[in-house]
Structure 1
Amino acid sequence: MSDFVENSVESFIDELQSALKNNPKPINIKALKNWEPSGLTTALLRKVQGYATGMKRRSTFVKSQKIVWLEGGNPHGEPVLLLHGFASSKENWVLLLPYLTRRYRVFVPDLPGWGESEFNYVEQYSLEKQLDRVDNWTGRYMPSQFHIVGSSMGGGIAALFTARHPEKILSLTLMNALGVFGSESTHFEQELKKGNNHLIAHRLTDVVRMMSTVMSYNRWTLTALLVPLMYQELVSRRHINQHMFHQLLEHAPPTMFEGIAHITSPTLVLWGEKDRILHASCATVFKQLIPQAEVKIFSEVGHLPMVEVPQMTARALLGFWRQLSKKHIAKDHHCLSPA
C-alpha cells in the first residue's frame, strides 16, 4: 500500500472530526425534539412507488428504532441489499429497481434516522451504531448471504459491514463511496474539511445548489425536476441532517476505515467521472485498498449513477453478478469432476 493511500484512510475521519471541532455548528435541540416528517409531494411519491415497482413496504423495530424498507423482486433470486447516501432515502434506488427485480430479490431500507425510518433525537447515529443496526436488521430479515451495494455514505457503511462480516457477503459494490480522500478533491470535499456540509439545505437556493452539484452538468432537466420534489423535505430536515452529520463521525476512531484493506469479497467500484461531491480519484484509492476490485468509471456522470443513468448502472451490476455466478458454477463443477 502506498504512503498516500495509507494516509488517505488514516486521515479521513481525523480530518473531518478536526473540522467539526474547529468550526462547531450549534445543534438546535428544540427543533430536533419537535420535528415531524413533512413533504406532501414526497409522501405521495412513496405511496405510489410500491405500485409502480411491485415492491412491498415493510417495517420493524430494531433496538427501539423503527426501520422501513422495500422488499420485492424474484423470490428465488440471489438477495441484494441497497444502501442510500447522506440526506437521502430508499427512493434514490427506485429508477434502478425495474432492472434488478426480474432476477434478484431486492431489499431497500431507509437507514435509521433517514427517510421513513424513525429519527429520535435521544438516539445515537454514529457509524458504529448504524453498523450495529444494519447488522441486527439483516440478521433478522435477510438471507444469510447477499450482495451489498452502497452509494456515498451508504458505500462507506457497506464497506465497513463487508470488512466486519465477510461471511455474509456474496459481493460488495462501492458506488461513489464515502471513506477515503483521492489524489484530487472537489470543492465539496474542501468545504467538508472546513466543517461545512453543502448537502444540508437551509433554503431553496441551497436545494438548487445541492441538486446541481450531485448531478453532472448535462442533467439539468433532471435537476429541475428534483428540486421542487425534494425542496420541502430537505429544508424541513436541515436541523436533523446537521445533527446526523455530527453523529456519524462522533466517537469514530481515525483507524475506522483501515479494515477496508482486508476485504476479500468480490468487489466492484463504480464512479461517476463528473462527481462533484467525492472526486473520481477516490476510486483509485479503493482499488489500491482492495486489489481484487473491478473499477468502472461512468463518463459524463455525477454522484448518483443509479439516478442519472439507471440502465447503465444496472448493466454494470448485472454483468458483475453474472460473472460471479459463472465462476461459482465453474468452481462447483470442477470440485465435482472425478480426479
Structure 2
Amino acid sequence: MFAEVDGRRVHYRVTGTGPPVVLLHGLGRSLEDWEPLRAALPGYRLLAIDLAGFGHSHPLPEPRLDSLAGHVMRTLDALDVTRAVHVVGNSLGGAVAMRLAADNPDRVASLALANSAGFGRRVTWALRVLDLPLLWRLLLRPDERTARSTELSLFYDPAFATPERVALAHELSQRPEAARTLRRVAAGLGSIRGVHPGWRRDLLMAMARLGIPTLVAWGTHDRILPAGHLINAAAALPQAHTHLFSRTGHMPQIERAEQFAALLTRFWDGLEAGPPPDTAASSRTPPAVLTTGLGDGWDHRELNRHR
C-alpha cells in the first residue's frame, strides 16, 4: 500500500488488530525484513514502513536522522495513527525510532531496538568506506554478487540469505537514487573513523532523560554492529531491558523471529502490568543482560572486546 506524505510516496504495510506497533527497517533495507516477525506476532496492529528513500518510498531532499524520523511521524499522521505506538527498529531503524521518541515522546509508548545504531563507534568496514569519494560508487553498484555478499553478512546462519532475499536486495539496489540515498544517510551518521559520537551522545542523553520504556536486543555474531554495543546500551540507558540472542547476526527479527516475538510480547505485557510494588528499589538496580543459550562456547567477556 502507498500513502502520499509531503508530496512523496510512502510504501507501508498494515496487518492485524490490537495495540499499534510501528516497524522500522535498517540502512538500505525495506519493510520486507519484518515479514517473519509479522507471522510470529499476532494480536497487534503491525505497521511496517519503508523509510524515505529506501524500499519503494520516495527519497527526501535531505535524508538526515531527524528528517527521516519526522517523515515517519507525518506518515503516522497521514494514516490517522494518533495514539501512542510501540516502535520496533532494527539497525538504522533503531536510531530513527529513538529520534522519533525524543522529538515526540507523547506519541511513543515504548521502544524495542534490535541491533540498533547509536550505541557505539564500531561499524563494519563496508559502511566506513562509503565515506571515500569514489569507492562508494563501485561498492554500491547494483550487482547480484554484491547483493548475495551483503545478505550473507547479515546472518549467523547462511541459510537465511535465501535466493529470494538476494533477489529482492538486488532489485531494490537498482532503484533510482537508491545508492545515493544510502550513501548520504551513512555519511550523516559516520565516516571512515566509524560512527560519529556527536549525534549518538545527544540522542542517548535525550533518551535517558525521557525514560521511555525500552528493550534493547542484540545477536552475538553481528558483523555490522558488534554485540559489545549492548554493554554500551545498558550503560547509557540503565533502566532499559537488554537481551542477547545466541548464534544470531544483525537481524534477530528474521533469524530468531519466534523468540524475538515472545520477547516483545513479554516486554509489552510487563508494561501493561505496571511497575513492581517497590518502584524505588527497582529503579536503583538496572535490568541485567539476559542471555539465551550461551552455553555454546560463547564467552560473555567477548562483548567487551567488541564495544
Scaled to the shorter chain, the TM-score interval is 0.7 to 0.9
1:242 is aligned to 180
Distance 1:259 1:103, change over 3 A: same
Segments of 5+ residues of structure 1 without an aligned counterpart are 1-56, 332-339
Does the C-alpha gap of structure 1 residues 295 and 87 become closer, same or farther in structure 2, counting only changes over 3 Å? same
CA distance in 2, matches of 1:180, 1:90: 23
Are the counterparts in 2 of residues 201 and 234 from structure 1 also a CA contact under 8 Å?
no
Q: What do you get for the CA RMSD once the two structures are aligned?
A: 2.9
CA 1:115–1:251 in structure 2 vs 1: closer, same or farther (change >3 Å)? closer
CA gap 1:64/1:270 in 2 versus in 1, 3 angstroms: same
Q: Is the 8 A contact 2:218 2:227 kept in 1?
A: yes
Higher relative contact order (CA closer than 8 Å, sequence separation 6+): 1
Q: Computing the radius of gyration over CA atoms, which structure comes out larger, 1 or 2?
A: 1
CA distance in 1, matches of 2:227, 2:127: 12
1:145-171 Cα distance to aligned partner (Å, 9 max, x none): 010010111111001111222111111
For the pair 1:204 / 2:148, whether they are aligned, the reply is no
Establish whether residue 286 from structure 1 lines up as the match of residue 238 from structure 2.
no
Does the 8 A contact of 1:187 with 1:276 survive in 2?
no
SS of the equivalent of 2:221 reads coil
Q: Does 1:260 align with 2:182?
A: no
Higher helix share: 1
1:130 and 2:68 correspond: yes
1:283–1:254 Cα change, 3 Å: closer
Secondary structure of the corresponding residue to residue 3 of structure 2: strand
Distance of aligned partners of 1:190 and 1:247 in 2 relative to their CA distance in 1, 3 Å threshold: closer
Unpaired segments ≥5 residues, structure 2 = 191-195, 279-307
What's the secondary structure of 1:269's corresponding residue?
strand
Task: Pick one of 220, 223, 226 that aligns with 1:273.
Answer: 220
Q: How far apart are residue 232 of structure 1 and its match?
A: 3.4
* Alignment TM-score, normalising by the size of structure 2: 0.77
From 82, 85, 97, give the equivalent of 2:23.
Answer: 82
Question: Number of matched residues?
Answer: 266
Query: Where in structure 2 are the equivalents of 1:1-339 lying within 5 Å?
Result: 57=1, 59-74=2-17, 77-100=18-41, 102-119=42-59, 123-140=61-78, 141-181=80-120, 186-188=124-126, 191=129, 200=140, 202-216=142-156, 219-226=157-164, 228-230=166-168, 232-237=170-175, 240-247=178-185, 249-250=187-188, 255-257=198-200, 258-263=202-207, 264-327=211-274
Structure 1 length normalisation: TM-score? 0.70
